[in-house]
Each structure stands twice: as structure tokens, then as C-alpha cells.
Structure 1
Amino acid sequence: MNLQTQKDTLEVGRKLVGFCRSNQVVKAIETLYADDVQSREAMDSPGMPSESHGIENALKKNKQWEETMEIHSAQVDGPFPLGDRFAVHFKYDATDKSTNKSWQMEEVGIYTVQNGKIVKEEFFYTM
């Protein structure tokens, strides 16, 4: 394992976690993501397939989340690096704005970094 790769990955991970903790996910995507980023969710959501490509789709997915969910609290732990990847653990207490249903969610995001940019994100969760 290349030590410099792990250091670069850790730096990108720290920046992402910082953006997420300060509720600046759009800025994180614009700053840290590669233009052709791949994104995978555990399942499809209304109007958004579980797999998408490109920074515009990553932004769209995040904006849809912000528009449909009211976040009461969020906890972001990590990053936990391994080579060119890192994991982040997220916990949310949220309400779906359309149904007024409250729920708690936990997910793990696995991010792959190349040349200082996130090229792949994968989210693991159950609902």
C-alpha cells in the first residue's frame, strides 16, 4: 500500500467530513468530487436510480434529499481510511416532509479517491 495514497485519501476524507458536519454537502461535492464520479445507493428512490454517474447527478441526488427531508440531527464519524478508500458513518434523525413521518437512519459511505478527487461513492444502509 502506498503511504502517500493513504495520506491523500485521509486528507480528502477529513475535508468531506468537515463539510458534512457543517451541512455543506453541495460545497463538498463541488470541491472534492471528480466530474465523472460514480454513485451507488443501496436502493432506488423516487426519481433517482440506485446507480448514477457524473457530478450533476451527485448534486441532484443531494438536492433532492435536502428538499424532501427535514434533518433534526446528524452525526458524522470518520474518516476511516484504507489505501485509496475511506469510510464515513452517518446517523440521521429526520422527518420526510411529504409524509411527516419521522425516522432514524444510519448509513456507511465508502468513498474511492484518485488524484485527490472522489471518483466513487457507495452507501450501505437498511430502511
Structure 2
Amino acid sequence: MNTEQVAQRLVELCRKGEFDQAQNELYADDAASIEPKGAAEGMGDAYGMDAIREKGRKFAESIEAYHGFSVSEPLIAENWFSVTMGMDVTMKGMGRIDMNEICVYRVKDGKIVHEQFFYDAG
């Protein structure tokens, strides 16, 4: 798949809430996942799919309820693409919050090799 195809497939799967499927299908085994400084404990940078899956598991466990989720259409530049994601959730011990972030991805050989998230942490 080229970058646009990977981007469209990621958006499609995320809109359905199929995050595990997106990782299994679209990510390289040695992918990197980068969070902003000050991210919640256990939500820091992760390298390799085992670590990325574990980070995702911890995040999912921290959510009591989903109230809404959105993903924009991708913006593509050669081997890179970005989307905005919004999530209205109730977090354990934190109450209901509305999270919005910019997500940037790098594609190499038809797989996501790098993802980086930009949001106000803390």
C-alpha cells in the first residue's frame, strides 16, 4: 500500500473503533510511538509493537466510558500523513474529558513506522 492507502485504511479502522486491527494490519514490527512530554504515567514513548500494544492496553483500561470519537480526513505529504483525533471519554479517577490531538505518521514500505501525538499534556 502507498501512503494514501495506509492513511485511508487507518482512518476507516479508527472510525470503527478497530484500533487493534489497525495496529496488526498497518504497523511495522519495529514501529515507534512518541507522546508529548508530560504524558500520563504508562503513556510515554514506545518502541516495537509489543510495547505499543501494551501502551494501548493501559490506555484502554484507563477509560470508564466512551461518549464520542472522531477522526479527520488525512492530510498527506509524500511518506507522511496526519489526522486530528477527538475523544470524549470518562477516565478512571479523572472524570469526563474531551481530548483532541494531532497525530502524525510516517509510512515506509507500506507500513506505519512512526507515529507521534501532539496534545496538551498534564
Q: TM-score, normalised by structure 1?
A: 0.88
Stretches of structure 2 that go unaligned for 5 or more consecutive residues are none
| Structure with greater proportional helix content | 1
Report the equivalent of 1:107.
Answer: 101
RMSD (Å), alpha carbons: 1.4
Q: Which whole-Å CA distance do the structure 2 matches of 1:47 and 1:109 have between them?
A: 19
Cα distance in 2 for residues equivalent to 1:22 and 1:28: 10
Match of residue 25 from structure 2: 31
- Count, aligned residues: 119
Cα distance in structure 2, aligned partners of 1:42 and 1:60: 18
Residue identity in the other structure for 2:10 = L
* Other-structure match for 1:82: 77
In the alignment, is residue 51 of structure 1 matched against residue 45 of structure 2? yes
**Separation of aligned partners in 1, 2:40 and 2:99:** 15
Q: Secondary structure at the match of 1:45?
A: coil
Percent sequence identity over matched residues?
A: 33
> Structure 2 counterpart of 1:21, which letter?
R
Which residue identity does 2:42 align to in structure 1?
A: G
Normalising by the residue count of structure 2, what TM-score does the alignment of the two structures yield?
A: 0.91
1:45: Cα distance to partner?
2.2
Cα deviation, residue 79, structure 1? 1.2
Q: Aligned residue for 2:2?
A: 8
